[in-house]
Amino acid sequence: MDDSLQTTKANAGAALWVPQPTQDGSFTFFSEAFGESFHSLAGARQEALLKFVTATRLRERAARSPLRLLDVCYGLGYNTAAALETIWTVNPRCQVDVVGLELDATVPLGAIAPALIDPWPPEVQEILRAIAQTHHCTTPTLQAKLWIGDARQTIQSLVQQGFQADAIFFDPFSPRRCPQLWTVEFFQQVARCLAPTGMLATYSRSACVRAAMLAAGLHIGTIPLVDDHPPHEWSQGTVAAFETSHLLPLSPMEQEHLHTRAAIPYRDPQLTDDAATILQRHQAEQRASQRESTSSWRRRWGIV
């Protein structure tokens, strides 16, 4: 692609997205369409490092090469950027293969504006620029591809290719805003892209998300809270894997949550329904359920 076309595309992306500062000095975007920020306002960079890179043990696993990463909902590319920074700090020669799935190509383009890209090392900044502008990047230690489209469809092509990820970053907007990416059927496809020893991490600790992962044949563990957390919180997210060896068991409170109505998972039998249809189906199933109500579980554990 010639330079002027690249600049025009980058400017178009930047014009659509207004950077919002987060508490660690890095920036995020707010999506009007989904009514939500792309990251925790406590810190976008910190969230990528803690809930995705640390949770999938990439620092410990970077000695092994090659490593394959699947970034579901690539967005600004922060989870990929944090992973590459971490892996190459430990092992600069590690060969990394990254596939990102993203609906909206203007998001990664908006994210390569100077203030947004500054927190990452220069080598990683170059990679983020190439991925945003051309949807791929090849260097001696990296093969990266960004697949633009609905992840419910692109994941099926990835399954056909036999892609097996050592780490999956699972980062859609929240289940209520984007239920189509938290269904049993979507997790079944994603699980087919997870290597037998691979780990999937997400920021969500919702019972319906955890139930969908279990229904897709995965084991689950918790991402524990850090010291300074709000009183109503019980976890920072969920890790899923086929092996249990590196999973932190759920607390008794989290296990009981999985027996409440909140643990009825979203369904999308053909992977084509819109959000409203999936939410309606879910509400009908919850209304018909004989399980304990989530409010009674909350009262029992003193969650306000």
Ligand X SMILES: C[S@@+](CC[C@H](N)C(=O)[O-])C[C@H]1O[C@@H](n2cnc3c(N)ncnc32)[C@H](O)[C@@H]1O
Contact flag: residue 171 with ligand X (CB under 6 A) = yes
Tell me which residue has tokens 């080598």: 123
According to the binding rule CB under 6 A, does residue 79 interact with ligand X?
A: yes
What is the number of the residue whose Cβ is closest to ligand X? Answer: 75
Nearest to 73 by CA among 199, 172, 192: 172
Pattern 7-46, ligand X, x by CB under 6 A: -------------------------------x--------
Encoded tokens for 188 = 């079944």
The CB-of-274 to ligand X minimum distance in angstroms stands at 11
Instruction: State the nearest-atom distance from the C-beta of 108 to ligand X, in Å.
Output: 8
| Region 182-221 residues binding ligand X, contact defined as CB under 6 A | none
One character per residue 106-135, x = contact with ligand X (rule: CB under 6 A):
-x----------------------------
- Residue 48 interacts with ligand X (CB under 6 A)? yes
E strands within the chain?
20-21, 27-28, 30-31, 36-37, 67-72, 96-102, 136-139, 142-148, 165-170, 194-202, 219-223, 237-241
Query: 4 vs 161, which CB is nearer to ligand X?
Result: 161
Of the listed pieces 156-164, 165-173, 182-190, 212-220, which binds ligand X according to CB under 6 A? 165-173
**Cα(193)–Cα(262) distance, integer angstroms:** 27
Coil, strand or helix at 260: strand
| CB-based contact 166:63 (threshold 8 Å) | no
Nearer to ligand X, 147 or 242 (CB): 147
Closest to 224 in 3D by CA, of 240, 235, 232: 235
Q: Is 77 left (phi over 0), alpha (psi -120 to 50) or beta?
A: left
Residue 85 or 171 having the CB closest to ligand X:
171
**What letters, b where the CB count within 10 A reaches 16 and e where it falls short, cover 213-229?**
bbebebebbbbeeeeee
Of 87 and 178, CB closest to ligand X:
178
The answer to whether residue 146 forms part of the interface with ligand X (CB under 6 A) is no
Binding site for ligand X (CB under 6 A): 38, 48, 73-76, 78-79, 101-104, 107, 150-151, 171-173, 178, 181
